């Protein structure tokens, strides 16, 4: 069939790889935030000029949404693995240890792009914030479902409040992201995770 043709587009071919450019943009947004990342920062890191950026990605906001897609697909992959862990405790542990790896990688900015975008409160960031909040809500809903399954499995005590437990786990994850972005060491975060797991209900 070949509907998505590789048949050579009409005009002059672009001289840069959009995927690489997007990855570079993600790095800038991740380290500087949406409002803190200027077009000059972005174009320099992406190795392209402003008109090329606008032609390929629309504008700054559209570029951010695409960078967020990439972030979810690549850097938040561990959250999907986490949901497939056999027990609720293993789910929580996978979430927290995965968060440490993602937020303290030596080749990526520290902290979580979602958290710094949710806490950004400038005027231009309002639609950005709404997008991130919505993505977080759907991710949290998936965790609620997983914990309900765990309760049916007898894996969580009957008395636990599922929304409370998910909000609690997300609070720890978000707090870890705040700390990761403000000077905490990997060992600091590991202590937080170990303490959390020591208190986890059941087993």
70: left (phi over 0), alpha (psi -120 to 50) or beta: alpha
Q: Which is nearer to DNA, 37 or 96 (CB)?
A: 37
Q: Which is nearer to its own copies, 31 or 79 (CB)?
A: 31
Interaction partner, residue 104 (its own copies, DNA, none; CB < 5-8 Å by kind): none
Q: Which is nearer to its own copies, 51 or 164 (CB)?
A: 164
Q: How far is the CB of 133 from DNA (least distance, A)?
A: 21
Residues at the site binding its own copies, with contacts judged by CB under 8 A: 31-33, 35-36, 111, 115-116, 118-123, 125, 129, 132-133, 136, 160-161, 163-165, 167-168, 170-176, 178-179, 181-184, 188-189, 191-192, 194-196, 198-201
Q: Which listed residue (2, 4, 6, 9) binds DNA by CB under 7 A? A: 9
Q: How far is the CB of 166 from its own copies (least distance, A)?
A: 9
Q: Which is nearer to DNA, 53 or 143 (CB)?
A: 53
Interface positions with DNA (CB under 7 A): 7-16, 37-41, 48-52, 54-56, 59-61
């Amino acid at each position: 069939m070949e509907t998505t043709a590789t048949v050579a587009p009409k005009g002059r071919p672009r001289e840069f790889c959009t995927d690489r450019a997007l990855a570079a943009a993600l790095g800038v947004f991740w380290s500087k935030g949406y409002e803190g990342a200027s077009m000059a920062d972005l174009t320099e890191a992406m190795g392209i000029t402003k008109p090329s950026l606008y032609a390929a990605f629309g504008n700054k906001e559209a570029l951010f949404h695409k960078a967020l897609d990439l972030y979810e697909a690549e850097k938040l992959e561990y959250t999907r693995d986490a949901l497939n862990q056999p027990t609720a405790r293993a789910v929580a542990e996978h979430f927290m240890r995965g968060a440490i790896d993602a937020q303290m990688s030596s080749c990526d900015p520290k902290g979580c792009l979602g958290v710094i975008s949710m806490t950004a409160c400038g005027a231009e960031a309002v639609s950005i914030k709404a997008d991130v909040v919505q993505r977080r809500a759907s991710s949290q809903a998936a965790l609620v479902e997983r914990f309900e399954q765990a309760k049916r499995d007898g894996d969580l005590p009957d008395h636990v409040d599922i929304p409370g437990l998910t909000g609690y786990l997300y609070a720890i994850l978000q707090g870890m992201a705040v700390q990761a972005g403000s000077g905490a060491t990997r060992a600091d975060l590991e202590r937080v995770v170990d303490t959390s797991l020591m208190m986890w209900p059941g087993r």
